Chains A and B, each alone.
Chain A
Amino acid sequence: MKKVLTLGLAAVMAATLLAGCGGNDKEAGASGGSPSASAGQPSDAGGKKRLAIIFKNTGNPYGEKQMEGFKKAVEENGDEAILKAPDQPTAEAQIQMIEELISQKVDAIAIAANDPDALQPALQKAMNAGIKVISLDSAVNAQSRITHVNQADPERIGRTLIQGVSEMIGGEGEIAILSATSQATNQNTWIEWMKKELEDPKYANIKLVKVAYGDDLRDKSVSETEALLKSYPNLKAIIAPTTVGIAAAGKVLTDKGLKDKVKLTGLGLPSEMAEYIESGVCPWMYLWNPIDVGYLAGYTAEALVKGEITGAVGEKFTAGTLGEKEIVADGDGTQVMLGDPFKFDSGNIAEWKEVY
């Protein structure tokens, strides 16, 4: 009987050891070869620096591309990248990951946050320990970070979407917004800017009838879209600034044959939306290159670690192939901008749908 126990324990130990050391190219720096050699070394001055990125959740192609970009930037500088993402998109899980990184005495943390405020105490602890903290994509509040890497100005995103939709429906009609969760800060910021844009008198004939929340769940986004279509039979367009929402709305509109009656736009992954852009259900949509976002974040983190910048407004640094970047103000914090949102339409979707 005791034999069974010991054998079992040995099996569990072996399994977890294998799992831990197992080659998985996302565990850069922690896997492959002797665990004690690479995973354990605290970085000393002059040695390889270790910069970490935490994304919102795992299994997300958008996030994977950002992490890829980050890793590329860090490795171009001769340092080591650590990639982490929790299996559930919660702030609690990210707090644990921050603690784990503090314990490993990393040099920098770049985080795409699941909650702008809930990570503050944890990130402040990291900063007090000498770790450079930046956020990317989904920001944390200004007290939790040194600076933020923004894919595109939220004001430009909001305004561009409204301008685009207005063009699609000829300047008049009812529109609705299909968002992600009600708690997502990015979403709420963009929606606010959309509403501000709508105050302009040239959109006097466009009416925003509803903001629906699909929670980034396929089935819920589908239900909400169907409800919108039924509750507002005169709906002319749907704006969905979320990758899951826009794809779900695209499917619903396709299935119901509403291609010419209701237009669709928003922010979506080219791979997910290729079908609907090619069919015309979605005339065009926007996004940005997540690889570039990660890449810029990598260089920003590197610049901070090397002491080239301190995160103050007006500082400039070179971000590899992206050229020179400047730090600008952002509320009571600072940020670095990638550029303008990129427009995807039937002309270029074919080349981008395989990339991400």
Chain B
Amino acid sequence: MEPRVLTSKKPLTLKGFFLQWEWMLVLLFIAVIVMNVNLSDYFWDYNNLRDATMSFLDKAFIVLPMVFIIILADIDISVGSIVALSSVIMADLYAHGVPMELALIVCLAVGTLCGYINGLLIVKFKELSSVIVTLSTMIIYRGIAYILLKDQSVGKFPKWFNYLGWGYVGSIPFILIAFAVFAVLFGILLHKTTFGRKVYAIGSNPTASRYSGVQVDRIKIIVFTLAGLMSAVTALFLTSRMGSTRPNIATGYELDVIAMVVLGGISTAGGKGRMIGAILAVFLIGYLRYGLGLINISAQTLLIVIGLLLIFAVSVPKLKWKGTGAKGKAV
């Protein structure tokens, strides 16, 4: 008897291999690079390309766990607020004399806690969708940040803190290395562990997974906690990039992150998508913005371009694979 597999894999044909979403992203990426090179002489310059990543990679850390969340057919729109809250608490502690190293660890702890609370609420109150839970916590977490710092900003961190967002290892930005490490870790977690398989299973069919013995609740809590942790990591890098913090940082991050994940081929209906897709999407959108920024395109045109890109990228597969669309689940 043939061993049973969890996902249905189509036989590997050359055509099938190249028609995958991720290859389309690669092609789009190449197209974007080619276009950018044509538009500006400043683009194809090692220093510039390298420094560009430092701008857009700070929110990329959240993309990694968000892939998990969206595969689960859930969503987390509180990540921006978690970034703000972790950063604010860290800065507030530092301003009151706590050594920076300790404050840094507290930042990570706060983010993890916020994520854990999200997961707990979602799992304990199954009637509530993740949208409404994270919508409320989004407002609450940022609210706490406002209560703590009010209208002040805290800055003047020790010199070494600046290294996180601006430093290099040799000639490679530290943030890029950090992202690469996390990306590999999360990629392995998703594709090579049973945890990852279970996440796919839950996303495809939560009821069946539960009856197959998968601990749906525990996995959801872990995933949301990871999102909180990575939001705190983003908080570290973002605060380092800005050299200071306020309660209103990272507004709008959640939509950017979700856009990157979705562009990466991870369907919000759940159960589909690959980590590499999301990573490609991060660089695709990052370099597209950067390249267009180099020719000083107006903000409104940029909005329209990004919007159209998103729609176009998502429509193309729909037009080809008429049969295997989303399963009409959730949002």
Contact = CB atoms under 8 A, between A and B. Distances in A.
A320 interface: no
Given A8-B312, A100-B294, A86 B28 contact: no
Given A83-B296, A117-B243, A88 B19 contact: no
Nearest to A88: B252
Contact of B296 (A9, A84, A90): A84
A188 B151 contact: yes
Contacts of A85: 298-299
A119 interface: yes
Interface string B11-40: 000000001000010011001101100111
Interface string B42-76: 10010110011011100000000000000000000
Given A16-B292, A102-B51, A103-B45, A92 B297 contact: no
A183 B248 contact: yes
Given A30-B297, A87-B303, A20 B27 contact: no
B250 interface: yes
10 contacts: A8-B312, A24-B301, A35-B39, A59-B300, A87-B299, A90-B252, A91-B249, A105-B42, A115-B242, A182-B151
Given A12-B309, A16-B35, A40-B41, A115 B246 contact: yes
B215 to A, nearest CB: 38
Nearest to A27: B296
A40 B40 contact: yes
Contacts, number: 178
A5 B42 contact: no
Nearest to A26: B298
Contacts of A95: 55, 241-242
A283 interface: no
A117 B153 CA distance: 8
B289 interface: yes
A182 B242 contact: no
B316 A8 contact: yes
Given A13-B31, A16-B292, A96-B56, A183 B155 contact: no
B105 interface: no
Contacts of A105: 42
A39 B248 contact: no
A27 B248 contact: no
A250 to B, nearest CB: 25
A4 interface: yes
A5 B24 CA distance: 8
A36 B293 contact: no
Contacts of A45: none
Interface in A308-326: none
B102 to A, nearest CB: 23
Contact of B247 (A35, A40, A183): A183
Contacts of B241: 95, 121-122
A22 B246 CA distance: 37
B305 A40 contact: no
Interface string A107-139: 000000001111111100100000000000000
A163 interface: no
A348 interface: no
A96 B289 contact: yes
Contacts of A102: 51
Contact of B27 (A4, A5, A42): A5
Contacts of B288: 16
Nearest to A85: B299
B166 interface: yes
Contacts of B290: 96, 99-100
A96 B316 contact: no
B319 interface: yes
Interface in B146-164: 146, 150-151, 153, 155, 162
A271 interface: no
